Amino acid sequence: MLVIERIDHPVLAAQWCDKRRARGARIGFVPTMGALHDGHLALVRRAREENDVAVVSIFVNPLQFNDPRDYELYPRDFGADAVLLDVTGAAMAFTGTLAQFFPGSGGDLANVPLRDPGAAAEGLEGERRPGHFAGVATIVARLFELVKPARAYFGEKDFQQTRVVLELARALGGPPIEVCPTLREPSGLAMSSRNARLSPQQRVDALALSRALYAAQSAWQKGERDADALCALLARVAGASPLRIEYAEVRDPERWTAARPRGALQRAQGLLAAYCGDVRLIDTLRLDGAPR
Protein backbone atom coordinates (compact mmCIF):
# COMPACT_ATOMS: atom_id res chain seq x y z
CA MET A 1 0.00 0.00 0.00
CA LEU A 2 1.44 3.34 -1.03
CA VAL A 3 1.19 6.30 1.33
CA ILE A 4 1.90 8.88 -1.37
CA GLU A 5 -1.14 10.60 -2.92
CA ARG A 6 -1.31 10.10 -6.67
CA ILE A 7 -3.35 12.66 -8.54
CA ASP A 8 -3.91 12.50 -12.26
CA HIS A 9 -5.36 15.92 -12.95
CA PRO A 10 -3.40 19.18 -12.51
CA VAL A 11 -6.43 21.09 -11.22
CA LEU A 12 -7.01 18.50 -8.48
CA ALA A 13 -3.30 18.66 -7.67
CA ALA A 14 -3.56 22.46 -7.36
CA GLN A 15 -6.51 22.03 -4.95
CA TRP A 16 -4.48 19.56 -2.87
CA CYS A 17 -1.63 22.11 -2.70
CA ASP A 18 -4.05 24.94 -1.82
CA LYS A 19 -5.39 22.93 1.11
CA ARG A 20 -1.92 22.13 2.40
CA ARG A 21 -0.81 25.74 2.09
CA ALA A 22 -3.97 26.95 3.86
CA ARG A 23 -2.91 24.77 6.81
CA GLY A 24 0.47 26.50 6.79
CA ALA A 25 2.51 23.84 5.00
CA ARG A 26 5.47 24.96 2.89
CA ILE A 27 5.63 22.96 -0.32
CA GLY A 28 8.98 21.93 -1.79
CA PHE A 29 8.40 21.20 -5.47
CA VAL A 30 10.31 18.93 -7.85
CA PRO A 31 9.14 19.10 -11.48
CA THR A 32 10.09 15.98 -13.47
CA MET A 33 9.31 14.08 -16.63
CA GLY A 34 9.33 10.76 -14.74
CA ALA A 35 11.66 7.81 -15.39
CA LEU A 36 13.06 8.73 -12.02
CA HIS A 37 16.61 7.93 -10.94
CA ASP A 38 18.67 8.66 -7.83
CA GLY A 39 19.35 12.20 -9.08
CA HIS A 40 15.63 13.00 -8.95
CA LEU A 41 15.26 11.26 -5.60
CA ALA A 42 18.05 13.42 -4.15
CA LEU A 43 16.02 16.49 -5.20
CA VAL A 44 12.93 15.04 -3.50
CA ARG A 45 14.86 14.30 -0.32
CA ARG A 46 16.13 17.86 -0.21
CA ALA A 47 12.66 19.25 -0.93
CA ARG A 48 11.32 17.20 1.96
CA GLU A 49 14.09 18.25 4.34
CA GLU A 50 13.82 21.98 3.60
CA ASN A 51 9.99 22.22 3.52
CA ASP A 52 6.98 20.61 5.18
CA VAL A 53 6.01 18.44 2.21
CA ALA A 54 7.56 17.44 -1.11
CA VAL A 55 5.38 17.47 -4.22
CA VAL A 56 6.52 16.02 -7.56
CA SER A 57 5.05 16.52 -11.02
CA ILE A 58 5.50 13.83 -13.65
CA PHE A 59 4.73 15.05 -17.13
CA VAL A 60 6.58 14.23 -20.34
CA ASN A 61 6.07 17.69 -21.74
CA PRO A 62 5.58 17.51 -25.53
CA LEU A 63 6.19 21.27 -25.83
CA GLN A 64 9.90 20.86 -25.12
CA PHE A 65 10.75 18.01 -27.52
CA ASN A 66 12.06 19.30 -30.81
CA ASP A 67 12.58 15.68 -31.94
CA PRO A 68 9.31 13.68 -32.13
CA ARG A 69 11.23 10.38 -31.94
CA ASP A 70 12.91 11.46 -28.69
CA TYR A 71 9.44 12.26 -27.30
CA GLU A 72 8.08 8.88 -28.38
CA LEU A 73 11.03 6.94 -26.93
CA TYR A 74 11.24 8.88 -23.67
CA PRO A 75 10.86 6.23 -20.92
CA ARG A 76 7.52 6.33 -19.04
CA ASP A 77 6.46 4.30 -15.98
CA PHE A 78 4.24 6.28 -13.60
CA GLY A 79 3.61 3.19 -11.41
CA ALA A 80 7.33 2.53 -10.80
CA ASP A 81 7.96 6.27 -10.27
CA ALA A 82 5.20 6.45 -7.63
CA VAL A 83 6.76 3.56 -5.68
CA LEU A 84 10.18 5.27 -5.68
CA LEU A 85 8.61 8.57 -4.60
CA ASP A 86 6.66 6.84 -1.86
CA VAL A 87 9.83 5.28 -0.44
CA THR A 88 11.59 8.66 -0.68
CA GLY A 89 8.84 10.37 1.30
CA ALA A 90 7.16 12.60 -1.28
CA ALA A 91 3.66 13.49 -0.10
CA MET A 92 2.04 13.83 -3.52
CA ALA A 93 2.82 13.13 -7.18
CA PHE A 94 0.68 14.39 -9.99
CA THR A 95 0.38 14.15 -13.71
CA GLY A 96 -2.05 15.23 -16.42
CA THR A 97 -2.49 15.59 -20.13
CA LEU A 98 -1.56 18.56 -22.29
CA ALA A 99 -5.26 19.47 -22.54
CA GLN A 100 -5.57 19.40 -18.74
CA PHE A 101 -2.46 21.51 -18.17
CA PHE A 102 -3.51 24.03 -20.83
CA PRO A 103 -7.31 23.92 -20.95
CA GLY A 104 -7.58 26.39 -23.83
CA SER A 105 -5.45 24.19 -26.09
CA GLY A 106 -7.86 21.33 -26.75
CA GLY A 107 -4.74 19.13 -26.46
CA ASP A 108 -3.19 20.66 -29.58
CA LEU A 109 0.42 21.83 -29.18
CA ALA A 110 -0.15 24.62 -31.68
CA ASN A 111 -2.78 26.17 -29.38
CA VAL A 112 -0.54 26.51 -26.31
CA PRO A 113 0.74 30.08 -25.94
CA LEU A 114 4.49 29.75 -25.45
CA ARG A 115 6.53 31.83 -23.03
CA ASP A 116 9.62 33.67 -24.16
CA PRO A 117 12.41 31.74 -22.37
CA GLY A 118 14.68 34.81 -22.12
CA ALA A 119 18.34 35.43 -22.84
CA ALA A 120 19.63 32.33 -21.03
CA ALA A 121 17.97 30.23 -23.73
CA GLU A 122 20.41 31.57 -26.33
CA GLY A 123 23.26 29.39 -27.60
CA LEU A 124 24.14 25.72 -27.02
CA GLU A 125 20.96 23.76 -26.16
CA GLY A 126 18.77 26.65 -27.31
CA GLU A 127 20.50 26.69 -30.68
CA ARG A 128 20.62 22.89 -31.17
CA ARG A 129 17.06 22.32 -29.93
CA PRO A 130 14.89 25.10 -31.36
CA GLY A 131 11.81 25.74 -29.23
CA HIS A 132 13.04 23.51 -26.38
CA PHE A 133 13.43 26.22 -23.75
CA ALA A 134 10.19 27.97 -24.73
CA GLY A 135 8.52 24.61 -24.00
CA VAL A 136 10.37 24.27 -20.69
CA ALA A 137 9.59 27.85 -19.59
CA THR A 138 5.92 27.42 -20.55
CA ILE A 139 5.36 24.24 -18.54
CA VAL A 140 7.48 25.34 -15.57
CA ALA A 141 5.55 28.63 -15.29
CA ARG A 142 2.27 26.66 -15.44
CA LEU A 143 3.49 24.20 -12.80
CA PHE A 144 4.52 27.05 -10.49
CA GLU A 145 1.08 28.59 -10.97
CA LEU A 146 -0.60 25.31 -9.97
CA VAL A 147 1.64 24.28 -7.06
CA LYS A 148 2.68 27.73 -5.73
CA PRO A 149 5.73 26.17 -4.07
CA ALA A 150 7.77 27.69 -1.27
CA ARG A 151 10.86 26.46 -3.16
CA ALA A 152 11.53 24.51 -6.35
CA TYR A 153 14.39 22.08 -7.01
CA PHE A 154 16.27 21.47 -10.26
CA GLY A 155 19.31 19.37 -11.12
CA GLU A 156 22.47 21.09 -12.28
CA LYS A 157 23.05 18.53 -15.04
CA ASP A 158 20.65 20.55 -17.20
CA PHE A 159 22.83 23.56 -16.56
CA GLN A 160 21.40 25.90 -19.17
CA GLN A 161 17.88 24.92 -18.11
CA THR A 162 18.71 26.04 -14.57
CA ARG A 163 19.76 29.45 -15.97
CA VAL A 164 16.47 29.69 -17.90
CA VAL A 165 14.45 28.70 -14.82
CA LEU A 166 16.33 31.16 -12.57
CA GLU A 167 15.53 33.94 -15.06
CA LEU A 168 11.89 32.78 -15.31
CA ALA A 169 11.47 32.71 -11.52
CA ARG A 170 12.94 36.22 -11.30
CA ALA A 171 10.44 37.42 -13.91
CA LEU A 172 7.54 35.72 -12.11
CA GLY A 173 8.60 37.00 -8.67
CA GLY A 174 9.43 33.52 -7.30
CA PRO A 175 9.69 30.83 -6.13
CA PRO A 176 13.29 30.57 -4.91
CA ILE A 177 15.12 28.02 -7.07
CA GLU A 178 17.52 25.49 -5.57
CA VAL A 179 20.04 24.09 -8.03
CA CYS A 180 21.28 20.70 -6.82
CA PRO A 181 24.50 18.89 -7.78
CA THR A 182 24.60 16.30 -10.56
CA LEU A 183 24.56 12.75 -9.28
CA ARG A 184 26.97 10.33 -10.93
CA GLU A 185 27.25 6.59 -11.01
CA PRO A 186 30.53 5.26 -9.52
CA SER A 187 31.86 5.08 -13.12
CA GLY A 188 31.41 8.87 -13.48
CA LEU A 189 28.36 8.63 -15.78
CA ALA A 190 25.94 11.46 -14.97
CA MET A 191 22.55 10.06 -14.00
CA SER A 192 19.91 10.69 -16.64
CA SER A 193 16.57 9.18 -17.59
CA ARG A 194 17.96 8.70 -21.09
CA ASN A 195 20.67 6.33 -19.75
CA ALA A 196 17.92 3.68 -19.68
CA ARG A 197 18.17 3.62 -23.49
CA LEU A 198 21.94 2.88 -23.54
CA SER A 199 23.31 -0.62 -24.19
CA PRO A 200 26.04 -1.91 -21.80
CA GLN A 201 28.70 -0.95 -24.40
CA GLN A 202 27.18 2.51 -24.86
CA ARG A 203 27.27 3.09 -21.10
CA VAL A 204 31.04 2.55 -21.34
CA ASP A 205 31.32 4.79 -24.43
CA ALA A 206 29.35 7.54 -22.64
CA LEU A 207 32.05 7.79 -19.96
CA ALA A 208 34.04 9.89 -22.45
CA LEU A 209 31.84 12.84 -21.39
CA SER A 210 32.75 12.83 -17.69
CA ARG A 211 36.36 11.90 -18.58
CA ALA A 212 36.61 15.03 -20.74
CA LEU A 213 35.09 17.24 -18.04
CA TYR A 214 37.46 15.92 -15.37
CA ALA A 215 40.41 16.43 -17.74
CA ALA A 216 39.35 20.06 -18.23
CA GLN A 217 38.93 20.51 -14.47
CA SER A 218 42.41 19.16 -13.93
CA ALA A 219 43.78 21.53 -16.63
CA TRP A 220 42.08 24.42 -14.81
CA GLN A 221 43.71 23.33 -11.55
CA LYS A 222 47.07 23.41 -13.33
CA GLY A 223 46.43 27.01 -14.41
CA GLU A 224 44.68 26.81 -17.79
CA ARG A 225 42.30 29.81 -18.08
CA ASP A 226 41.84 30.12 -21.83
CA ALA A 227 38.34 29.19 -23.03
CA ASP A 228 39.51 28.02 -26.47
CA ALA A 229 42.17 25.77 -24.96
CA LEU A 230 39.70 24.27 -22.45
CA CYS A 231 37.14 23.66 -25.22
CA ALA A 232 39.77 22.04 -27.44
CA LEU A 233 40.71 19.73 -24.57
CA LEU A 234 37.06 18.84 -23.90
CA ALA A 235 36.51 18.09 -27.60
CA ARG A 236 39.71 16.05 -27.88
CA VAL A 237 39.06 13.82 -24.85
CA ALA A 238 35.33 13.39 -25.50
CA GLY A 239 36.00 12.87 -29.21
CA ALA A 240 38.45 10.00 -28.58
CA SER A 241 35.43 7.69 -28.34
CA PRO A 242 32.56 6.51 -30.54
CA LEU A 243 30.46 9.50 -29.38
CA ARG A 244 29.33 12.08 -31.92
CA ILE A 245 30.09 15.38 -30.21
CA GLU A 246 27.58 18.19 -30.75
CA TYR A 247 29.38 20.77 -28.68
CA ALA A 248 32.24 20.98 -26.20
CA GLU A 249 32.07 24.39 -24.57
CA VAL A 250 32.75 26.51 -21.52
CA ARG A 251 30.69 29.38 -20.16
CA ASP A 252 30.93 31.69 -17.17
CA PRO A 253 28.53 29.94 -14.75
CA GLU A 254 27.50 33.25 -13.20
CA ARG A 255 26.93 35.19 -16.43
CA TRP A 256 25.33 33.22 -19.23
CA THR A 257 26.37 34.28 -22.73
CA ALA A 258 25.27 32.73 -26.01
CA ALA A 259 28.85 32.81 -27.27
CA ARG A 260 32.03 31.44 -25.70
CA PRO A 261 33.64 34.02 -23.40
CA ARG A 262 36.90 35.60 -24.57
CA GLY A 263 40.15 36.21 -22.72
CA ALA A 264 41.26 34.78 -19.40
CA LEU A 265 38.37 33.21 -17.49
CA GLN A 266 37.67 33.80 -13.82
CA ARG A 267 35.11 31.01 -13.53
CA ALA A 268 34.25 28.18 -15.88
CA GLN A 269 31.49 25.66 -16.43
CA GLY A 270 32.28 22.87 -18.90
CA LEU A 271 29.31 21.80 -21.05
CA LEU A 272 29.10 18.85 -23.42
CA ALA A 273 26.42 17.38 -25.66
CA ALA A 274 26.93 14.23 -27.72
CA TYR A 275 25.09 11.41 -29.40
CA CYS A 276 25.77 7.94 -28.12
CA GLY A 277 24.17 5.89 -30.89
CA ASP A 278 20.82 7.65 -31.27
CA VAL A 279 20.67 8.78 -27.63
CA ARG A 280 21.51 12.42 -27.02
CA LEU A 281 23.37 12.97 -23.75
CA ILE A 282 24.51 16.14 -22.01
CA ASP A 283 26.90 16.60 -19.11
CA THR A 284 28.43 19.52 -17.26
CA LEU A 285 30.98 20.27 -14.54
CA ARG A 286 32.18 23.34 -12.71
CA LEU A 287 35.83 23.53 -13.72
CA ASP A 288 37.08 26.16 -11.28
CA GLY A 289 37.55 25.74 -7.56
CA ALA A 290 34.04 26.76 -6.48
CA PRO A 291 32.11 24.15 -4.52
CA ARG A 292 30.35 21.42 -6.57
Which residues are part of the catalytic machinery?
40
d(CA 32, CA 29): 10
> Is the CB of residue 178 less than 8 Å from the CB of residue 149?
no
CB atoms near residue 31 (< 10 Å): 23
Shortest spacing between CB 1 and ligand PAF, in angstroms: 28
124 sits in which H/E element: helix 124-128
Shortest spacing between CB 64 and ligand PAF, in angstroms: 6
Question: Which of 10, 31, 123, 253 is in the footprint of ligand PAF by CB under 6 A?
Answer: 31
d(CA 173, CA 274): 35
**90-149 binders of ligand PAF (CB under 6 A):** 136, 139-140
Q: At what angle do helices 159-172 and 132-147 cross, to 10 degrees?
A: 50
154 beta partners: 179
- String marking each residue 33-52 x if it binds ligand PAF according to CB under 6 A: x-------------------
Nearest residue (CB) to ligand PAF, 10 versus 31: 31
Nearest residue (CB) to ligand PAF, 32 versus 182: 32
121 three-state secondary structure: helix
Please say whether the dihedral angle defined by the alpha carbons of residues 227, 233, 237 and 242, taken in this order, is positive or negative.
positive
| Contact flag: residue 282 with ligand PAF (CB under 6 A) | no
Candidates 31-39, 120-128, 184-192, 204-212 — which segment interacts with ligand PAF by CB under 6 A? 31-39
| Contact flag: residue 274 with ligand PAF (CB under 6 A) | no
**49-68 binders of ligand PAF (CB under 6 A):** 61, 64
Shortest spacing between CB 136 and ligand PAF, in angstroms: 5
d(CA 230, CA 233): 5
93 beta partners: 6, 56
Nearest residue (CB) to ligand PAF, 112 versus 136: 136
* Contacts with ligand PAF, residue ranges (CB under 6 A): 31-33, 61, 64, 136, 139-140, 158, 161
